[in-house]
Structure formats: C-alpha cells, structure tokens
C-alpha cells in the first residue's frame, strides 16, 4: 500500500509537447513512472520521449488506460484541462501550473470533488513514492525508499528537507507537495488520513509556512486523530510583523497564520518542531528510535 500513487499508476501528461512537459516526462520515466500518454490538441500521432501524443484526454484514456494526469498547460487553460481530465475518468490530477486565477480554481476544486477526482496543487511539485511512481516535478535525486512520509506547502523546502532525510541514511514512503495557493485540491487535513492509514509510513514530516490556517487545521487533526510521530517545520519565523510575503496563500488574518500560532498549535498537538530545516533529520531519527523503544 502507498499514498495515492504506486507501480500501477498510469500517467497522461497534458501539455506534453511544451518544454516543461517534455523535460518532466523524461524525469518521471527515469523515476520509474508509467507515463503512458501525452495530450496536446492538434499533435496526435507524434511521440515525446517515446510517449504517444493524443488530441484529447478521453482518447488517451481509452487507448492507454491512463488513470492519473499531470497538467502543465498554461494558466488560462488549466481549468478546461482539469475538467477534460475529470470527464475522461481521471481520478488523480497533479496540477503543476502556477498563476491559475482564484475563481478558476474554485470551479476546478468543486467540479473535481463532485466527480470523485483528487487534485494535488495547483502551483505544486506533485507527489512521489520512491521505487514506485512520481507525478510532478520533484527532483529524482533527492529520494531514497524508506518509511518517512512528507507533506509540504513549499516546493523548494520539500526538496531540501527530503534530501536531508535521504543523506541521513533514512528514506521516504511518499512525499506530497500540496502547493501554496489560497485554494488547493489537497490540504494537510486531506492528506493526513492517507498517511495514517499507510502501513509503509512510520513517521510524518509536515512542512508549512506563514499565511493561511492550513497548519493550524492540520495540528487540530493531528491532536485528535493522528497516531504516528510528527516532525514539523514552519518557514517564515523571521518575517516582519504584518509583512505579506511568499505564496499567494501567505495571508495572515486575526492572529492566525503567523509562525507563532502555527508553531504553538503543532507543539500542542505533540509534534516535534524544528527551528531550522537542517534539524529535521536528527529529529526524525530520534522520533523513530523512540517509537521503536515503545
């Protein structure tokens, strides 16, 4: 069992003939992902990195049995791309695209949820399970198969922290980059039950940042429902008071969304909180050792 992706995940890349789509199709294949199809209207019959290109997602699904999508299309067309994937029967869609209009994402979120499709993103690096599959753009070299789960709002911090865990001699079960926009398809609260249920995950690393209430909401879920050890890190502790910065979702209101409120909530939920990213591997190792002694 894994979280959302495994060796049976069959990916269709929407926007495969663009530069980013081509580059990351190659990297997903090198990771071991079954990239079975690409979609660019008007380019049917071509191949990209050995992957057949179709004019529509429906054609791709019917011909290749694709069951997951990775969306690289430009922001003005992302809503239509997601709806097309959902209507074709795709049940996991990673939306890498950034700068998607707020109201477009509201439509995408509710349409996908009503149809039973899970969105990861937008404006995210995607999801990866080492030794199994990757749908997105997280660098291949930072991973090593293991039993540490990672969920994060920050792309580059995800890479740094996963790399630190790997260099420490540990490894990852599944890593999900949620994205930092105000509306995302999968939140901490959505992801936490998946890792709780995953027998291949012994510990979870939660990486947050200032703005929004996603981390406070996640901490509340951890307090009442999550039984595995949690190590957490919140970026933005040195941000000037009242300063608006970072992702589109980095908005602080009424005392919530600050680094202090997030840190307090996570500590109250029993998480071990790192002050700096480089502390995370040691905290993970210590928490795993403590868990093993129980």
Residues noted as catalytic: 247
Q: Do residues 35 and 14 make contact, with C-beta atoms less than 8 angstroms apart?
A: no
Mark out the alpha helices in the chain (DSSP H runs): 19-31, 57-64, 75-87, 102-115, 155-167, 188-197, 214-225, 259-268, 280-293
The answer to whether 118 touches 186, Cβ cutoff 8 Å, is: yes
Residues 6+ positions from 136 with CB-CB distance below 8 Å: 24, 28, 70, 94, 96, 120, 124, 125, 126, 127, 128, 177
Report the first-to-last Cα separation within the chain, whole angstroms: 24
Q: Locate tokens 């905290």: which residue?
A: 283
What tokens were used for 104?
């477009």
């Amino acid at each position: 069992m894994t979280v959302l992706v495994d060796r049976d995940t069959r990916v269709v890349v929407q926007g495969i003939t663009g530069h980013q789509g081509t580059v990351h199709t190659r990297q997903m294949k090198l990771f071991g992902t079954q990239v079975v199809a690409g979609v660019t209207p008007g380019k049917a019959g071509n191949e990209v990195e050995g992957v057949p290109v179709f004019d529509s997602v429906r054609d791709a699904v019917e011909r290749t049995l694709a069951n997951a999508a990775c969306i690289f299309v430009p922001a003005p067309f992302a809503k239509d791309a997601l709806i097309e994937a959902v209507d074709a029967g795709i049940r996991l869609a990673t939306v890498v695209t950034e700068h998607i209009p707020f109201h477009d994402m509201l439509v995408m979120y509710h349409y996908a949820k009503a149809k039973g499709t899970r969105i990861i993103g937008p404006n995210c690096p995607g999801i990866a399970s080492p030794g199994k599959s990757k749908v997105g753009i997280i660098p291949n070299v930072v991973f090593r198969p293991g039993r540490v789960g990672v969920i994060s709002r920050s792309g580059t911090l995800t890479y740094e922290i996963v790399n630190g865990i790997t260099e420490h001699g540990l490894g990852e079960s599944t890593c999900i980059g949620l994205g930092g926009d105000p509306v995302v398809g999968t939140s901490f609260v959505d992801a936490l039950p998946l890792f709780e249920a995953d027998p291949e995950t012994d510990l979870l690393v939660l990486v947050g940042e200032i703005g929004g209430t996603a981390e406070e909401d996640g901490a509340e879920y951890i307090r009442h429902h999550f039984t595995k050890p949690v190590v957490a890190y919140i970026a933005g502790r040195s941000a000037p008071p009242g300063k608006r910065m970072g992702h589109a979702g980095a908005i602080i209101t009424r005392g919530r969304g600050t680094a202090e409120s997030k840190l307090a909530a996570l500590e109250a939920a029993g998480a071990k909180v790192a002050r700096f990213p480089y502390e995370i591997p040691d905290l993970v190792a210590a928490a795993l050792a403590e868990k093993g002694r129980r």
